[in-house]
Amino acid sequence: MELSTPLTLFILYLLLNVLAFCVYWWDKQAAIDGTWRISERTLLGIAFVGGSLGAVTAQQMLRHKTRKEPFRTLLMMIVALHTLGAASWLFAPEFTQRALAAIAQAI
């Protein structure tokens, strides 16, 4: 069975968000046990590369880093960026393609 590109991307997105949830759970357990913690930079990085849904779900379900600033604000900014990107992709796909091409060319 050959996976189509949208299905492959969706599966990767789901796996990344499950991974994000698991990493936040691991950090929460480490906080409870008083053992080695995962850096906030790593937690935010996982959210930034596409795991924001899993990160926010873990944050709310596990009550982890819900009051920690600026972590909370940075995570919400990542969620807003992802929401804006998804809305742009859904409602203005041509604009999104041109913007991504311009960004890729600039890099």
How many helices (H) and strands (E) in the chain? Answer: 5, 0
**Does 2 score more than 70 pLDDT?**
no
Q: Which of 21 and 99 is assigned the larger pLDDT?
A: 21
Question: What is the reported pTM?
Answer: 0.82
Q: Average pLDDT of the chain?
A: 91
C-alpha–C-alpha distance, residues 12 and 24, integer Å: 18
Whether omega for the bond prior to residue 6 falls within 30 degrees of 0, making it cis, is no
CA triple 79-83-88, angle to 5 deg: 150
pLDDT digits (tens, 9 = 90+) for 65-98: 988 899 999 999 999 999 998 898 888 888 878 8
**What sign has the CA pseudo-torsion 79, 39, 59, 8?**
positive
Q: Which of 30 and 3 is assigned the larger pLDDT?
A: 30
pLDDT for 15: 96
